[in-house]
Chains A and B, each alone.
Chain A
Amino acid sequence: MALDNLRTAEALLSVRDLTVKAETDGTSRTILDGISFDLNPRQILSVIGESGSGKTVLARTLASWLPPPLRVTGGSVHFRGEDLIADPKFAKSLSGREIAYIGGNPAGALDPTMIVGAQLVEKLRAVRPDISKSDAHDKAIALLGAVKIPAPERRFHEYPFQYSGGMMQRAMIVDALISDPALLIADNITQPLDVTVAAQILKLMRELNSEFSTAILFICSSLPVACEAADEVMVLHEGKVVERQVPGELIARPQHAYTKDLIRELPTLWAEGKSEEAAPATRKQQAIMSVHGVAKHYETHGKSGRALVQAVRNVEFDVFPGDNFGIVGESGCGKSSLMRLLTGLERPDAGTIHFKGENVGQATPKRLRQLRRKFQLVLQDPYGSLPPQSSIGSILEEPLIIHKIGNRAERRERARAIMAEVGLPNNIYDRLPTGLSAGQRQRLNVGRAMILEPELLIMDETLSALDQTEQAKLLELFQRLQEEHGFTYIFISHDLTMVRQVCSRIAVMYLGETVEVAPNERLFFDPGHPYSRALLSAAPTLEKRRYSPEDCLLEGEPPSPIDLPKGCAFANRCPHAFDRCRMENPSLVLRGDHALAACFLND
């Protein structure tokens, strides 16, 4: 390694003083400011930085794919000794052939009207016309197999919409590698994926790197992921390279203040000295929300006829007053369907949901509206969840009008009080929400939910659209509000580190079921379900892992909720599965101290 670094003449990619500016109407903003680095053949270099640090612009500059207002104003990019900036035509001819790019959005990356295989062949033959159609076909299938897509022959003939997100990202890796490029630019490729799938993709990248001898520029926004993926990590801050080290050194001895902050602010999963959560709510009290055997299915019409999607099955848990209850699970596990059931937006097909002893699932619409004063919902999307044409004041007052509370002056006073409480400046009362940042919008959403003085707040991925710093501020706000108003929270989230920080009890969902319900400490130190262990093993963290991905998770994807296996839904990915798991479905069993898990291993 050290030797390689000395011989910079042999660097595959050599970037010197690269400066990119955004020029609009005479004003010019510097996005990349004098970036210099070398990338050797076969090396994996992570580039990390917060949003706006210029990571993606760097990726797109190297891929000769800079969109119009952005322009390279200085510096050079030498690829195998040739300057790409000086010769854009040559640079273009490399893209897709020698320099491959994979983006963060696999869902829309291929033509939806053509089978995946044909598009792989088309791409290979576009950059290497000398390869015959049948050779290209064979190569595509071989590579689909190499990225561990099951049944590659058949998958070759399927359309993009028949691939899951993780599968599609694998297909895009094939698309990038099929022309044997010397450099692969991976721009945030794990960001839209679930942690367990992302962990598999990362593993795959490393394997492919050694197999295909491709240098990889791995761009991402999560420090743990960057450290896991790469030989070296380069930190980008405000368009400048502030430091570059091997991962171990970077974490142990960060040089730049920004890196130090980044590492310090990183939430931990297992570190000791975690403040014990406010005394766990007393169990003697009546549960504020009590969910039993809840199920919900949806009917879909496909080309193969009708199908039943079992979105939620066997969900069981109690939430006690003053609790911070967490519901975690990956995409498609039924979190959002469950949220719709909890809030009475939809009614369950089976089971009961009691809010303070009253069945939400069977309440009349009128009673439901009265009940909603006491439990409110805060949504994920800070942009779609606010009406763009209403002023901030009227957004806040609308719930009061719906529930016929107070007169105009009282409502106005109440709205202003709430704005102060959630930390919104007083002078924006009459403004539209257009100018608000994502964090401010979520504050407004929280304010709108709490203006009715509810007892229970359901947070559906409320923080997942925000960056780390903003998340921390809002969590502080939630805690303060809880102390002042005695709220009970239900956090629905995919983010284990967030749940670890805030929640007192946590339910883990997999394919519509609660597979484990346990107090925070117990779940993270002694999980009772193999899926919980798999989630923990895949969580991005810099800490020494208590659970290693190799032992916890088999290659593969969750089954489809249309064709559920007979036994335990996790059996096909579980390293401990035995015959009984494939025959019957375990139900939640108490394993002491309010911890429940649905696994035969606990018997």
Chain B
Amino acid sequence: MAFVPVALLQTYSEVPMFVVRFLVRRLLQGALIVFLVSALIFTLLRVVPGDPVRLMAGGMAPEALIEKIALEMGLRDPIYQQFGRYIGGVAQGDLGQSFVRPANGAAVGGASFDDNTRAARAEVWDLIAQTAPMTLQLALLAMVFALIVAIPIGVAGGLRPGKWPDRLALYLSSVFISLPNFWLGIVLALLLSVKLNLLPAIGYNGFAYTILPALVLSVEIAPFIIRTLTVSVANVMGQNFIDIAAVRGLTRNQIIFRHALKNSAIPLLNLLGVQFSMLLGGVLVIEFIFDYPGLGRLTINAVMQRDFPLIQGIAIVTAAAFVLINIVVDLCATAIDPRLDY
């Protein structure tokens, strides 16, 4: 007599299955996205004017030599052939070699055309593998700083909408968001490094060098976190199950920490995913100002040197990181709220 809807039974027993299916689907989608990104970048880079061989060989190299190098490197083949070759390599984990950078040292773009070190040009993968962890470290630290500041302020604002904590959250976000990062970077470097001599500012020679750029970045992203939290906490606190929890006999602490915060975490999680992707994708200005040896600085140099394989490699790696971060965020969100369905 007891009727048991079959659909519920399935949902219940298939949770691990659902995760596997989710991962397979999302990874396939991600592969497609990465492929499209590389195709786009590849084509665009080949279409823009300027011959990279001229840059590599140097301004003084004879035309015949340039043609010879270009032919050797396959740069005169049709774009789809070049792309096919390239993507074949990518599939095997080979992102190609830098046009400009030698494996053993500093960039030598524009050196003499008979420079024999060119034979040992740097692997793009190695260049990225050296710099990406630095950016990851910077991004994580910035995120931690931002969360430390934003969570108490945002939650307090959301718990008392319209009262002073809410207004504090709003004013503080407005101030933070109106500070230009290059200006803040310079001011903080002047204040903390030059005047007070607390933190190192330029270059990288140990963990301490990450703190200052991370502080600047955290000021940039904290307002978004504060705002999102204030809105979502206030929204959750207005919901029926929170309202009624007190009558059910739960204490205020239980209501806030076990129910309200958990329910308001999902908008925050989505935001953090986007912010983190942006941080990884290149904190160009900050890394440039602090001469921080991360992906951002590598990107700037690669663009200025017209180092096509390097630009492509960075684009592919960051696209893949975007995809992975999004998958992780969505998986966490479903773990928090089982109603969500991606």
Q: A residues bordering B, Cβ < 8 Å?
A: 63-65, 95-97, 100-101, 103, 105, 107-114, 122-123, 126-127, 150-151, 154, 157-159, 161-162, 175, 179, 301-304, 307, 554-557, 559-560, 562-563, 572
When the two chains form the complex, which single residue of A157, A179, A307 contacts B249, counting CB atoms closer than 8 Å? A179
4 closest A-B pairs (Cβ-Cβ)? A96-B249, A150-B2, A108-B240, A127-B249
Contacts of A111 in B (CB 8 A): 241, 245, 258-259, 262-263
In the complex, the chain B residue whose C-beta lies closest to that of A96 is B249
Residue B3, interface by CB 8 Å: yes
Residue B126, interface by CB 8 Å: no
Stretch at the interface among B6-14, B41-49, B316-324: B6-14
Q: B residues bordering A, Cβ < 8 Å?
A: 1-8, 10-12, 14-15, 18, 239-241, 244-251, 254, 258-259, 262-263, 336-339, 341
In the complex, the chain A residue whose C-beta lies closest to that of B19 is A303
Contacts of A122 in B (CB 8 A): 250, 254, 258
Assuming A154-B12, A157-B12, is B341 touching A301 (CB within 8 A)? yes
**Cα distance A304–B338 in the bound complex, in angstroms:** 13
Assuming A96-B249, A108-B239, A111-B259, is B18 touching A559 (CB within 8 A)? no
In the complex, the chain B residue whose C-beta lies closest to that of A128 is B249
A-B contacts, 28 listed (Cβ < 8 Å): A63-B247, A95-B247, A96-B249, A96-B250, A101-B244, A108-B239, A109-B244, A110-B241, A111-B258, A113-B337, A122-B254, A122-B258, A123-B248, A126-B250, A150-B4, A154-B12, A161-B339, A175-B248, A179-B249, A303-B18, A304-B10, A556-B3, A557-B3, A559-B3, A560-B5, A560-B7, A563-B5, A572-B1
Contact A563 B263 (CB under 8 A): no
Contacts of A114 in B (CB 8 A): 259, 262
**Cα distance A154–B12 in the bound complex, in angstroms:** 9
Assuming A96-B247, A301-B341, is B263 touching A113 (CB within 8 A)? yes
**Cα distance A157–B244 in the bound complex, in angstroms:** 21
When the two chains form the complex, which single residue of B1, B247, B336, B341 contacts A302, counting CB atoms closer than 8 Å? B341
In the complex, the chain A residue whose C-beta lies closest to that of B259 is A111
Contact A303 B249 (CB under 8 A): no
**Cα distance A563–B6 in the bound complex, in angstroms:** 7
When the two chains form the complex, which single residue of B2, B14, B262 contacts A303, counting CB atoms closer than 8 Å? B14
**Cα distance A123–B246 in the bound complex, in angstroms:** 10
**Cα distance A126–B12 in the bound complex, in angstroms:** 28
Contact A556 B14 (CB under 8 A): no
With A154-B12, A161-B339 already in contact, 18 other A-B pairs whose C-beta atoms are closer than 8 Å:
A65-B247, A108-B239, A108-B241, A111-B245, A111-B258, A112-B339, A113-B338, A122-B258, A123-B248, A126-B251, A127-B249, A150-B2, A151-B2, A302-B7, A303-B14, A303-B15, A556-B2, A559-B5
Contact A113 B2 (CB under 8 A): no
Contacts of A97 in B (CB 8 A): 249
In the complex, the chain B residue whose C-beta lies closest to that of A105 is B240
**Cα distance A18–B295 in the bound complex, in angstroms:** 71
In the complex, the chain B residue whose C-beta lies closest to that of A176 is B248
Contact A307 B7 (CB under 8 A): yes
Contacts of A109 in B (CB 8 A): 240-241, 244
Contacts of B241 in A (CB 8 A): 108-112
Contacts of B1 in A (CB 8 A): 554-556, 572
In the complex, the chain A residue whose C-beta lies closest to that of B334 is A303
Contacts of A63 in B (CB 8 A): 247
How far does the Cβ of A396 sit from chain B's closest Cβ, in whole Å?
A: 36
**Cα distance A301–B14 in the bound complex, in angstroms:** 15
**Cα distance A372–B185 in the bound complex, in angstroms:** 65
In the complex, the chain B residue whose C-beta lies closest to that of A101 is B247
**Cα distance A96–B263 in the bound complex, in angstroms:** 22
When the two chains form the complex, which single residue of B11, B240, B244 contacts A304, counting CB atoms closer than 8 Å? B11
**Cα distance A113–B341 in the bound complex, in angstroms:** 13
Contact A572 B3 (CB under 8 A): yes
In the complex, the chain A residue whose C-beta lies closest to that of B22 is A303
How far does the Cβ of B163 sit from chain A's closest Cβ, in whole Å?
A: 13
Contacts of A113 in B (CB 8 A): 262-263, 336-338
Contact A158 B12 (CB under 8 A): yes
How far does the Cβ of A558 sit from chain B's closest Cβ, in whole Å?
A: 9
Contacts of A301 in B (CB 8 A): 341
Contacts of B14 in A (CB 8 A): 303-304
How far does the Cβ of B99 sit from chain A's closest Cβ, in whole Å?
A: 47
**Cα distance A572–B2 in the bound complex, in angstroms:** 9
Contacts of A559 in B (CB 8 A): 3, 5
How far does the Cβ of A310 sit from chain B's closest Cβ, in whole Å?
A: 13
In the complex, the chain A residue whose C-beta lies closest to that of B338 is A159
Contacts of A123 in B (CB 8 A): 248-250
Contact B7 A563 (CB under 8 A): yes
In the complex, the chain B residue whose C-beta lies closest to that of A123 is B248
In the complex, the chain A residue whose C-beta lies closest to that of B15 is A303
**Cα distance A100–B249 in the bound complex, in angstroms:** 9
How far does the Cβ of B104 sit from chain A's closest Cβ, in whole Å?
A: 53
In the complex, the chain A residue whose C-beta lies closest to that of B7 is A562
In the complex, the chain B residue whose C-beta lies closest to that of A303 is B18
Contacts of A556 in B (CB 8 A): 1-3
In the complex, the chain B residue whose C-beta lies closest to that of A159 is B338
**Cα distance A304–B11 in the bound complex, in angstroms:** 6
**Cα distance A110–B241 in the bound complex, in angstroms:** 5
How far does the Cβ of A334 sit from chain B's closest Cβ, in whole Å?
A: 17
In the complex, the chain B residue whose C-beta lies closest to that of A111 is B259
When the two chains form the complex, which single residue of B3, B18, B248, B338 contacts A96, counting CB atoms closer than 8 Å? B248
How far does the Cβ of B223 sit from chain A's closest Cβ, in whole Å?
A: 27
**Cα distance A557–B3 in the bound complex, in angstroms:** 7
In the complex, the chain A residue whose C-beta lies closest to that of B341 is A303
Most chain A C-beta atoms within 10 Å of own C-beta, residue among B10, B241, B245, B259: B241
How far does the Cβ of B240 sit from chain A's closest Cβ, in whole Å?
A: 4
How far does the Cβ of A565 sit from chain B's closest Cβ, in whole Å?
A: 9
How far does the Cβ of A455 sit from chain B's closest Cβ, in whole Å?
A: 42
**Cα distance A554–B3 in the bound complex, in angstroms:** 11
Contacts of A126 in B (CB 8 A): 248-251, 254
In the complex, the chain B residue whose C-beta lies closest to that of A304 is B10
Contacts of B5 in A (CB 8 A): 559-560, 562-563
How far does the Cβ of A260 sit from chain B's closest Cβ, in whole Å?
A: 35
How far does the Cβ of B103 sit from chain A's closest Cβ, in whole Å?
A: 49
**Cα distance A109–B248 in the bound complex, in angstroms:** 10
Contacts of A158 in B (CB 8 A): 8, 12
How far does the Cβ of A116 sit from chain B's closest Cβ, in whole Å?
A: 12
**Cα distance A65–B12 in the bound complex, in angstroms:** 36
